[in-house]
Structure 1
Amino acid sequence: MLQIKRIYEAAADTDGYRILVDRLWPRGISKEQAQVDEWAKEIAPSNELRKWFHHDPAEFAEFKTRYLHELQEKKELLAAIKKRAQHQRVTLLYGAKDETNNQAQVLLELLKK
């Protein structure tokens, strides 16, 4: 029971437990609007990787490879999300405009394996 959603979309009852997976707080949205249950910035791409990628779709394949490499050191965090998703719906929130080429997509794919 995992899904992703852009944080700028309105929160819904069907979201379940909402986890922000961005390293930086999204611009222009208050904590009240966001209705985030957890901010897992530790699982987000490193600052170096985030700045390198800069949401360039042409670099997404390389970004994904590098991000998956970083996530190998975050097994406990990934396991906690998987465990929660066994008992309730979990929505991974992201701020990127690109709904296809972002870290939440990579996380969702990895967690569903």
Structure 2
Amino acid sequence: MNIQIKRIYEAVSPADGKRILVDRLWPRGVSKARAQLDLWPKELTPSDALRQWYHEDIEQRWDEFQQRYQAELAGQQEALQQLRDLARQEKITLLTAAKNAGKNHAEVLKRILQSGFPRRPAVK
């Protein structure tokens, strides 16, 4: 799988492959023409409540944010699988406006796409 993360404010490059916005809100100051998106799967972005909670204290809430976001994504298996399938076929770039390069939801999403998790618990 060839998945990279890039800030939406960086220049578009042919090396980006499919450009996928993974933010729930449209980034300020970026036109749709400039963004050159291929997909915007809002169902794979953190919920408004989770995003707002996390941004109150990014450093202290990072570990718990990852767990909560993974729990939200567990209900989005079909959308996750579509991105995994796409990433197996060609390079994809997850685009975000997040300033913190190491502690953002795109990093969590990338890890989940590569690992195949989270999975829904089996029904007994």
User: Is the pair's TM-score, using the shorter chain for normalization, greater than 0.5?
Assistant: yes
Can you give the 5+ residue segments of structure 2 that lack an aligned partner in the other structure? Answer: 116-124
TM-score by length of 1: 0.96
Alignment counterpart, residue 109 of structure 1, candidates 105, 108, 111:
111
Rounded to whole Å, the distance in 1 between the matches of 2:97 and 2:34 is 13
Give the alignment's TM-score, normalised by structure 2.
0.88
For 2:89 and 2:40, the matched residues in 1 are separated by 19
CA RMSD of aligned residues (A): 0.9
Larger Rg: 2
Which residue of 54, 62, 76 corresponds with 1:74?
76
Whichever residue aligns with residue 61 of structure 2, its letter is E
For residues 48-81 of structure 1, what are the alpha-carbon distances to aligned partners after superposition, in whole Å with 9 as ceiling and x for unaligned? 1011001612211110000000000011000000
User: Which segments of 5 or more consecutive residues in structure 1 lack a partner in the other structure?
Assistant: none
State percent identity of aligned pairs. Answer: 48
The residue type paired with residue 53 of structure 1 is: Y
Matched positions, count: 113
